[in-house]
Amino acid sequence: MDVTTPVSSDPWLIVGLGNPGPEYAMNRHNVGFMVADLLAERIGGKFKRAGKAQAQVLEGRIGPVGPANRRVIVAKPMSYMNLSGGPVNALKDFYKVPVANVVAVHDELDIDYGVLRLKLGGGDNGHNGLKSMTKAMGSDYHRVRFGIGRPPGRMQVADFVLKDFSSAERKELDYFVDRAADAVECLVIEGLERAQGAYNS
């Protein structure tokens, strides 16, 4: 079976990557949390603590009634970015989610601000959240990469990703987060190829 084809009987685990705590809430590094929050709002539920998994989770369904309807678990690891793999792997095992049905939503330095790229598998490109996930469960999961661009001048990458979006960026942030949530839904319901065609820009 083509691993990019959604399987209706298997649940999907949608993971927004970020750091817990109000001081990180509007950081560029937390855009995965922002997308997860919007997906939770669309589903119409609230996150709850997932026991030993060190994550907040929300269970629900997305998609039209019928074969395209998908059971999803939306998750936000609470372990800090660099240790995301443990909680994600625990949730994957608990909910019996195939690795190919795991979706990581994360910030991406090498893509211009607001641009999306969807893919299956690949390297971590220096992203510590992905690095931790790959170490925990292999690399054959989906990624929704949200472009944040490169730091200006000589600013260090770590400083850049842990700063809030600029006032200029915030004017379009809601739109881009909304579009990223749309892309996640399209990926889960219609598959990677269709989602890439619609949202890879």
Catalytic residues: 29
Element of type H or E holding 72: strand 70-77
Question: Which of these, 50, 37, 56, 80, lies nearest to 184 by C-alpha position?
Answer: 37
Q: Fill in the amino acid letter for 153.
A: G
The gap between the terminal CA atoms of the chain, to the nearest Å, is 28
Residues 6+ positions from 196 with CB-CB distance below 8 Å: 118, 119
Tokens standing for residue 19: 């750091």
| Overall size of the chain counted in residues | 201
**Closest C-alpha to 71, from 189, 180, 186:** 189
Closest CA to 117 of 146, 148, 149, 150: 146
Q: How far apart are CA 70 and CA 79, in angstroms?
A: 27
Residue 27's SS3 state is strand
